[in-house]
């Protein structure tokens, strides 16, 4: 595969950057574009970003990469180590670049990828989730990754929420939009690719920051391949921008507890967006009917939060009965159940349904992957 034709085009309200991706199979050929806030990225940032975005695809297709740009020396040196994490251990693709160059360190500011979920809110609101010396200045939201093909009214709600969160926490919001997944979803699973998408999108901002944070999730406690991981995240770094993990090794329930204790609790609980589904309308932002919604909601109940959570619809026995828990892992669900048993914070009727579902799903061969959750 080849990546070339890098372009940076300044528009009135945003900057568009793009590169041409050409493959052995011409049906895959595509110009991948990003729109960025008015800040114009450097040429070296554009090279590093597209290199990060291209390499996993070369590994997944087992096609040698001919990258027509100058890449960070550190990034070029480390990137082959990503293979086991993105489920491409056996790939033999070679990576050819024009040359490599040591990047200069960016300004003393940090950015956090912010997707509005429990992990993101925790990374933002609990200072212990990050290195003490890092000055969190930017929240970065990527439209086209988390929000892939969703309705425009939902997007309007989302931008308004992101602006409120940024204002309340004195951060600057950076919104990136991209068509990246139109290409990558044809080549490899988003489960393995999403870390490259996040890190690559963030690299465009290397002229305004020197640290980028990716929030950990419960998958960080497993050894299975996954697109973001404690040992994988820093491999996307350059000399100019360090990519770090926020929130490790806390699990979601513990993060929910920290959010509930935060002075910004009300802000978080009215804006948390955790649903698997692609909502068409703002009022559907958390459907309350999928495994991920139930898991998010019950994390807060499990840590003793008794009030209504505005971002979720009310939970009823009939709704809970229809939810298939197997989208999450057994260990996570047992951890939530055990905490709920201890603090009795769910009605006996709902608790009965949850206990039954966990026992039934166990019998169906639900694999227990995380066993360190009490
Ligand atoms: Zn949902």
Give the tens place of pLDDT for each residue, 113-134. Answer: 999 999 999 999 999 999 999 9
Residue 103 has pLDDT above 90, yes or no: yes
Tell me the CA–centroid distance for residue 151 and ligand 1, in Å. 16
What is the pLDDT at residue 368? 57
CA distance 249 to 217: 9
Per-domain residue ranges for the chain?
2-101, 110-246, 274-363
Tell me the CA–centroid distance for residue 295 and ligand 1, in Å. 9
Under 8 Å between Cβ of 9 and 32:
no
Tell me the CA–centroid distance for residue 350 and ligand 1, in Å. 18
What is the pLDDT at residue 374? 43
Q: Which residues lie near ion ligand 1 (Cβ < 5 Å)?
A: 275, 287, 290, 293
Residue 23 has pLDDT above 60, yes or no: yes
Tell me the CA–centroid distance for residue 110 and ligand 1, in Å. 31
Tell me the CA–centroid distance for residue 310 and ligand 1, in Å. 14
Q: Mean pLDDT across the chain, nearest whole number? A: 92
Residue 320 has pLDDT above 60, yes or no: yes
Q: What's the average model confidence in pLDDT over 271-291?
A: 82
How much of the chain, in percent, has pLDDT values that exceed 70? 94
Q: What value, to the nearest 5°, has the Cα angle with vertex 358 and ends 357 and 362? A: 115
Closest CA to 35 of 2, 12, 63, 51: 12
Q: What value, to the nearest 5°, has the Cα angle with vertex 40 and ends 104 and 150? A: 115
Which run of H or E residues covers position 80? none
Residue 373 has pLDDT above 50, yes or no: no
Q: What is the DSSP pairing of strand 110-113 with strand 136-143? A: parallel
First CA to last CA across the chain, in angstroms?
47
- Tell me the whole-structure pTM to 2 decimals: 0.94
Q: What's the average model confidence in pLDDT over 182-209?
A: 96
Tell me the CA–centroid distance for residue 212 and ligand 1, in Å. 28
Tell me the CA–centroid distance for residue 298 and ligand 1, in Å. 13
Tell me the CA–centroid distance for residue 154 and ligand 1, in Å. 14
Which run of H or E residues covers position 194? helix 190-203
Tell me the CA–centroid distance for residue 1 and ligand 1, in Å. 38
Residue 370 has pLDDT above 70, yes or no: no
Residue partners of 372: CB distance under 8 A and separation at least 6: 221, 331
Q: What's the average model confidence in pLDDT over 212-232?
A: 93
What is the pLDDT at residue 149? 63
What is the pLDDT at residue 272? 94
Tell me the CA–centroid distance for residue 374 and ligand 1, in Å. 25
Q: What's the average model confidence in pLDDT over 170-193?
A: 96
What is the pLDDT at residue 150? 61
Q: How confident is the model at residue 295 (pLDDT cuts 50, 70, 90)?
A: very high
Tell me the CA–centroid distance for residue 348 and ligand 1, in Å. 23
Omega into 249 within 30° of 0, i.e. cis?
Answer: yes
What is the pLDDT at residue 298? 95
pLDDT per residue as tens digits for the range 321-362: 999 887 777 878 888 999 999 987 899 999 999 999 988 877
Residue 91 has pLDDT above 60, yes or no: yes
Its CATH class, for the domain covering 110-246, is alpha beta
Under 8 Å between Cβ of 344 and 306:
no
Burial class (CB in 10 A: 0-12, 13-18, 19+), 89: exposed
What is the pLDDT at residue 365? 60
Tell me the CA–centroid distance for residue 56 and ligand 1, in Å. 29
Tell me the CA–centroid distance for residue 47 and ligand 1, in Å. 37
Tell me the CA–centroid distance for residue 79 and ligand 1, in Å. 35
Tell me the CA–centroid distance for residue 291 and ligand 1, in Å. 7
What is the pLDDT at residue 372? 44
pLDDT per residue as tens digits for the range 35-89: 999 888 999 999 999 999 999 999 999 999 999 999 999 999 999 999 999 999 9
How much of the chain, in percent, has pLDDT values that exceed 90? 77
């Amino acid at each position: 595969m080849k990546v070339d034709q890098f372009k940076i085009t300044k528009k009135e309200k945003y900057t568009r950057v793009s590169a041409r991706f050409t493959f052995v199979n011409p049906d895959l050929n595509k110009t991948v574009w990003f729109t960025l806030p008015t800040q114009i990225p450097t040429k070296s940032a554009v090279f590093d970003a597209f290199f990060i975005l291209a390499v996993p695809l070369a590994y997944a297709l087992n096609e040698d990469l001919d990258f027509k740009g100058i890449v960070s020396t550190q990034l070029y040196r480390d990137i082959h180590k990503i293979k086991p994490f993105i489920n491409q251990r056996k790939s033999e693709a070679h990576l050819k670049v024009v040359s490599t160059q040591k990047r200069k360190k960016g300004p003393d500011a940090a950015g956090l990828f912010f997707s509005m979920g429990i992990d993101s809110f925790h990374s933002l609101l609990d200072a212990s989730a990050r290195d003490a010396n890092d000055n969190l200045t930017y929240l970065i939201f990527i439209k086209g990754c988390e929000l892939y093909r969703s309705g425009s009214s939902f997007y309007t709600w989302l931008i308004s929420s992101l602006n409120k969160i940024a204002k309340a926490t004195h951060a600057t919001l950076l919104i990136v939009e991209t068509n990246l997944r139109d290409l990558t979803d044809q080549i490899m699973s988003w489960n393995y690719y999403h870390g490259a998408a996040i890190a690559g999108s963030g690299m465009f901002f290397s002229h305004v920051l020197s640290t980028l944070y990716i929030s950990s999730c419960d998958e960080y406690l497993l050894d299975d391949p996954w697109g973001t991981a404690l040992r994988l995240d820093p491999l996307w770094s350059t000399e100019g921008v360090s990519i770090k993990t926020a929130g490790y090794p806390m699990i979601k329930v513990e993060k929910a507890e920290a959010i509930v204790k935060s002075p910004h609790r009300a802000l978080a609980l009215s804006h948390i967006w955790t649903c698997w589904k692609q909502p068409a309308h703002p009022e559907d932002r958390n459907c309350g009917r999928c495994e991920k919604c139930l898991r998010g909601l019950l994390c807060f109940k499990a840590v003793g939060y008794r009030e209504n959570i505005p971002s979720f619809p009310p939970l009823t026995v009939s709704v809970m009965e229809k939810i298939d828990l197997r989208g999450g892992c057994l260990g996570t669900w047992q951890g939530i159940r055990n905490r709920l048993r201890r603090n009795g914070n769910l009605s006996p009727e709902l608790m009965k349904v949850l206990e039954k579902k966990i026992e039934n799903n166990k019998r169906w061969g639900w694999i227990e992957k995380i066993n360190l959750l009490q």
